Amino acid sequence: MLPHSKSAQKEVRASKRRQFRNKSIRSLCKTKISKAEKLILSGELNLGREAVVDAVSVLDKASEKGIIHANNAARRKSRLTKKLNQAQALSSTEG
């Protein structure tokens, strides 16, 4: 069902354009995070550290553009760095 007023119809069109534009950046965030997590879990900490830096950069950019909320970006960055730090601590105690 379409909105009745012209301004509401225009807002629907604008919303769809924003949604389309934001989708690729959201997807990139998820991809960078999952790549970093895979590297950390596989034990490749040097590559994992670089991947975490990439993911944090992408999250910051998405947050600045308003694509994701600042707290959402902070939470994701925190979880990712926590995983990296735990893996580094685990590897240093083992070897």
Cα gap 66→75, rounded to integer Å: 15
87 in a domain, yes or no?
Answer: yes
46 in a domain, yes or no?
Answer: yes
Q: Which domain holds residue 44?
A: 34-95
Residue 91 banded pLDDT, cuts 50, 70, 90: confident
6 in a domain, yes or no?
Answer: no
Q: Is residue 24 within 8 Å of 62, Cβ to Cβ?
A: no
Domain count, the chain: 1
5 in a domain, yes or no?
Answer: no
Residue 95 banded pLDDT, cuts 50, 70, 90: low
Q: Could you tell me which residue, 28 or 92, shows the higher pLDDT?
A: 28
Q: Is residue 86 within 8 Å of 78, Cβ to Cβ?
A: no
